[in-house]
Structure 1
């Protein structure tokens, strides 16, 4: 599991009360009870923890955990350049 995946999983479990076994790459965010407000809060927490700018990343509750992780990893890759 990547650092981004580990951080996102930890945030979903600790801050949003998601069951650890529910955090799977194919799980849609809406199934984890992540609405638009929760997604915005999660985005800000990820930015803070991973020191990455996610302002250009458009996510909805229909996206999966795996899509979120991929988007964060892509932004982390850009920041490293």
Structure 2
């Protein structure tokens, strides 16, 4: 799998989707739209909180809705390295 994010951030976010949100692992792919994975607004809010707690990056809910998993992981990684 080729993504713009290092495996560690992509792995953390993928694990959150699978473990906390019970998304089937075969649906968790870098090119999957986040809006398809997080199907309601509560899930989006919970993911934003979880990413902040686990990775120390505050994210906007609209950012989650508008990106693929790979794009989102890349954006989170870029902000982690900017600190």
**Is the pair's TM-score, using the shorter chain for normalization, greater than 0.5?**
yes
* Unaligned ranges ≥5, structure 2: 1-5
Helix, strand or coil: the match of 1:52? coil
Q: Deviations over 1:3-39 (max 9, x none)?
A: 1111100000011110111111110122224333211
Paired residues of 1:36 and 1:61 also in contact (CA < 8 A)? no
TM value normalised by structure 2: 0.77
Q: Distance in 2 between matches of 1:54 and 1:31?
A: 18
Quote the residue 1:5 is aligned against: 10
| Alignment of structure 1 residues 6-21 onto 2, 5 Å | 6-21=11-26
What does residue 71 of structure 1 align with? 75
Please list every run of 5 or more consecutive structure 1 residues that lacks an aligned counterpart in the other structure. none
CA RMSD of aligned residues (A): 2.0
**Equivalents in 2 of 1:70, 1:39: separation in Å?**
18
Larger relative contact order, structure 1 or 2 (CA cutoff 8 Å, min sep 6):
2
Q: TM-score under structure 1 normalisation?
A: 0.79
Q: Which runs of 4+ in 1 moved over 3 A?
A: none
Q: Which residue number corresponds to residue 54 of structure 2?
A: 49
Match in the other structure for 2:3 = none
